[in-house]
């Protein structure tokens, strides 16, 4: 095969791959997304926010041994709380420092549970977990 044909084949492959990348980008853009205050109380898994989530702090363990983690999405500028396998009626909450905004949920046994998100742009947040009896709650540091 001569060099001209090789170059043409490489160019055609690059154009085809570029089209595939554009298609997946369009599909991603079609997902629901938000930023800062427009994320308040939204499910992070029904937005693009969970895609770049980080867990910037150690979790906090309540008196029953259940752990809550604070998650942060840099692209969405939002935080939320999550827990795994907490007993039924374990309460998790994400608060914005100062208490002006929060989102909460209650676990069902064995479930991966998370709160809605709250705006974190220019604020700090922390997560709280409370066992079903409400005694022995724990909270993460602020981030």
pLDDT in tens, 78-134: 999 999 989 999 999 999 998 778 999 988 766 789 999 999 999 999 999 999 999
Domain ranges of the chain: 1-30, 36-139
**Measuring CA to CA, how many Å separate 132 from each of 12, 15, 50, 83, 90?**
61, 57, 27, 14, 5
Q: What is the mean pLDDT of residues 4-9?
A: 38
Q: DSSP per residue over 84-133, as a string?
A: ESPPTT-EEEEEETTSS-EEEEE--TT-EEEPPPEE-TT--EEEEEE-TT
Q: Which residues pair with 113 in a beta bridge?
A: 83
pLDDT at residue 31, as a whole number:
62
pLDDT in tens, 16-58: 333 333 334 444 444 668 999 999 999 999 999 999 999 999 9
For 76, the token pair is 């969405």
pLDDT at residue 110, as a whole number:
67
How sure is the predictor about 5, in pLDDT bands with cuts at 50, 70 and 90?
very low
pLDDT at residue 97, as a whole number:
92
State whether CATH 3.30.420 applies to domain 36-139. no
**CB contact at 8 A, 48 and 28:** yes
């Amino acid at each position: 095969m001569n060099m001209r044909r090789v170059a043409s084949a490489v160019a055609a492959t690059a154009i085809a791959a570029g089209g595939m990348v554009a298609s997946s980008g369009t599909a991603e853009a079609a997902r629901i997304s938000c930023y800062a205050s427009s994320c308040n109380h939204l499910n992070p898994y029904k937005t693009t926010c969970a895609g770049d989530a980080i867990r910037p702090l150690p979790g906090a363990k309540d008196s029953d041994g259940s752990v809550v983690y604070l998650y942060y999405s840099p692209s969405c500028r939002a935080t939320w709380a999550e827990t795994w396998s907490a007993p039924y009626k374990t309460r998790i909450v994400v608060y914005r420092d100062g208490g002006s905004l929060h989102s909460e949920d209650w676990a069902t046994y064995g479930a991966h549970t998370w709160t809605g998100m709250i705006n974190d742009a220019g604020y700090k947040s922390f997560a709280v977990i409370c066992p079903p009896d409400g005694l022995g709650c724990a909270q993460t540091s602020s981030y």
